[in-house]
């Protein structure tokens, strides 16, 4: 008989065991509180360097980074931007806030990332950009995306929020977009609590992103603005946390991989449950989130209820964007996107913090396995 875990195991908790407190204290003692100063600049340059980019522009969230990226690229009313339907709402809201139309693409049934065949089908003469988004630990198959974009003259805004430290073939995620974005939200591999960053190699785009982040203050007459921007700076205190997080990110990534592989071997033989592959021909899974897809919504909901009783927290998968009430009137009309529909209905993920001990991982895996087995379809 498996006992409930006490206290319950959270889906995610931040790991702040490095120099975070020391660097925050230093920032405050040196008088750096706002978005100015050496901590922000150092965080930008170290992050950019880590991901092979020339420029990093720190902002207050990953969602704002997406908005600023599209604005910097001049996305405007009448334009279409291709967005995976299986992702966070931010990818679509950034498009809508430019006055452009998000066009949704279904997920790949095995990796859960944007399907390349479905992407190809959705490019029109109005398409201006694609937002490939790496989801849950595997990257999008980027080479075909980059080729399609080049052939059709489209910008690529790479959403690498969940893929810090991940590689696509031998390139870092975050290095492949004309602009790439990161999030430093509390559940991300590198966190500043709240925060994000734009990354690019193009000096003009970097200047535009910096201006847009900082209200587009005038260069000569500070309070004369020729364009509207955002007040979206990352504070020095947050950047100080980020600098400490960069020092320890490789260890956390390695731990997440170990946890993912342990779950993988405990759960891969389950008959009625789909999990993401540990390897594809272009990447190994870093298991940012360890997901399971059940046979239908009712089974998924039942599994989550049983796991809650076992003290194992879970989260449902993204609800696909083509089914979002908030986007009904502004998105390109889409019928069903069957793979994402299935993922949204039947998927959930389990605890994966790098802070989990081996024994906790083992205990969670045993409870997940037992729960899934008890829900197997026995009708044959
Ligand atoms: C976390 C995340 C973002 C941005 O999130 P913020 O909370 O705004 O920092 C964007 N895209 C993806 C895929 C994410 O997971």
Please choose, from the candidates 50, 46, 70, the residue with its C-alpha nearest in 3D space to the C-alpha of residue 58: 46
The 10s digit of each residue's pLDDT in 5-33 is 999 999 999 999 999 999 999 999 999 99
Provide the 3-class DSSP secondary structure of residue 280. coil
Give nearest CA residue, ligand 1 atom 3: 62
Whether 106 and 81 have beta carbons less than 8 Å apart is answered as no
Phi, psi (deg, nearest 5) at residue 55: -130, 140
First to last CA, the chain: 26
Q: How far is CA 183 from CA 179, 198, 251, 377, in A?
A: 14, 9, 19, 39
Whether 263 and 350 have beta carbons less than 8 Å apart is answered as yes
Q: How far is CA 98 from CA 74, 89, 245, in A?
A: 9, 15, 33
Whether residue 93 has its Cβ less than 6 Å from ligand 1:
no
Task: Give alpha helix (H) positions in 216-357.
Answer: 236-267, 297-309, 338-346
Write out the two tokens for 146. 């980059």
Per-residue model confidence (pLDDT) at position 380? 54
Rounded distance, CA 53 to CA 41, Å?
Answer: 14
In the beta sheet, which residues pair with residue 274? 293
Rounded distance, CA 37 to CA 97, Å?
Answer: 30
Beta strands 290-293 and 347-350 are antiparallel
Centre of ligand 1 from the C-alpha of residue 221, in Å: 35
* Ligand 1 atom, smallest distance to 194 CA: 9
Provide the 3-class DSSP secondary structure of residue 157. strand
Report the phi/psi class of residue 354: left, alpha or beta, with left for phi > 0 and alpha for psi in -120 to 50. alpha
Centre of ligand 1 from the C-alpha of residue 113, in Å: 15
With the most atoms of ligand 1 within 8 angstroms of its CB, the residue from 14, 62, 177 to mutate is 62
Beta strands 171-172 and 167-168 are antiparallel
Give nearest CA residue, ligand 1 atom 2: 161
Whether residue 162 has its Cβ less than 6 Å from ligand 1:
yes
Rounded distance, CA 88 to CA 288, Å?
Answer: 15
Residue 366: CA atoms inside 13 Å, Cβ hemisphere, count? Answer: 13
Centre of ligand 1 from the C-alpha of residue 64, in Å: 9
Per-residue model confidence (pLDDT) at position 270? 95
Return per-residue pLDDT of the chain as tens, 380 residues. Answer: 899 999 999 999 999 999 999 999 999 999 999 999 999 999 999 999 999 999 999 999 999 999 999 999 999 999 999 999 999 999 999 999 999 999 999 999 999 999 999 999 999 999 999 999 999 999 999 999 999 999 999 999 999 999 999 999 999 999 999 999 999 999 999 999 999 999 999 999 999 999 999 999 998 999 999 999 999 999 999 999 999 999 999 999 999 999 999 999 999 999 999 999 999 999 999 999 999 999 999 999 999 999 999 999 999 999 999 999 999 988 888 878 999 999 999 999 999 999 999 999 999 999 999 999 999 877 65
Tell me how many degrees the CA angle 329-340-118 measures, rounded to the nearest 5: 85
Buried b (16+ CB within 10 A) or exposed e, 158-182: bbbbbbbbbebeeebbbbbbbbbbb
Centre of ligand 1 from the C-alpha of residue 159, in Å: 8
Centre of ligand 1 from the C-alpha of residue 324, in Å: 17
Whether residue 27 has its Cβ less than 6 Å from ligand 1:
no
Question: Does pTM top 0.75 for this prediction?
Answer: yes
Residue located via tokens 């913090």: 353
* Ligand 1 atom, smallest distance to 133 CA: 13
Phi, psi (deg, nearest 5) at residue 167: -120, 145
Give nearest CA residue, ligand 1 atom 4: 62
């Amino acid at each position: 008989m498996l006992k409930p875990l006490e206290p319950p195991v959270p889906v995610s908790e931040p790991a702040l065991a490095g120099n975070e407190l020391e660097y925050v204290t230093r920032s405050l003692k040196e008088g750096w509180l706002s978005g100015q100063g050496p901590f922000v600049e150092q965080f930008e340059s170290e992050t950019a360097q880590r991901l092979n980019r020339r420029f990093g522009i720190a902002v207050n969230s990953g969602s704002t980074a997406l908005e600023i990226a599209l604005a910097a690229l001049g996305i405007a009313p009448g334009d279409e931007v291709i967005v995976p339907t299986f992702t966070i709402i931010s990818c679509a809201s950034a498009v809508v806030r430019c006055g452009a139309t998000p066009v949704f693409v279904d997920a790949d049934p095995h990796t859960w990332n944007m399907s390349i065949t479905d992407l190809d089908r959705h490019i029109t003469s109005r398409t201006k950009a694609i937002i490939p988004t790496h989801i849950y630990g595997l990257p999008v198959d980027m080479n075909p995306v980059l080729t399609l974009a080049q052939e059709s003259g489209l910008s690529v805004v790479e959403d690498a929020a969940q893929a810090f430290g991940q590689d696509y073939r031998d390139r870092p995620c975050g290095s492949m977009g004309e602009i790439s974005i990161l999030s430093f939200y509390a559940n991300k591999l590198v966190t500043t609590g709240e925060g994000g960053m734009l990354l690019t190699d193009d000096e003009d785009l970097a200047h535009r992103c910096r201006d847009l982040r900082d209200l587009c203050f005038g260069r000569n007459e500070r309070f004369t603005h020729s364009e509207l921007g955002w007040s979206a700076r990352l504070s020095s205190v947050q950047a100080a946390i980020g600098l400490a997080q960069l020092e320890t990110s490789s260890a956390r990534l390695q731990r997440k991989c170990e946890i993912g592989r342990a779950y993988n071997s405990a759960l891969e033989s389950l008959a009625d449950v789909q999990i993401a592959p540990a390897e594809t021909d272009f990447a190994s899974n870093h298991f940012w989130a360890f997901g399971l897809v059940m046979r239908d919504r009712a089974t998924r909901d039942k599994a989550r209820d049983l796991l809650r009783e076992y003290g194992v927290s879970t989260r449902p998968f993204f609800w696909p964007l083509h089914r979002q009430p908030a986007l009904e009137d502004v998105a390109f009309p889409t019928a069903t996107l069957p793979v994402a529909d299935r993922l949204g209905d039947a998927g959930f993920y389990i605890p994966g913090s790098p802070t989990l001990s081996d024994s906790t991982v083992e205990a969670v895996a045993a409870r997940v396995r037992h729960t899934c087995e008890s829900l197997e379809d026995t009708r044959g």
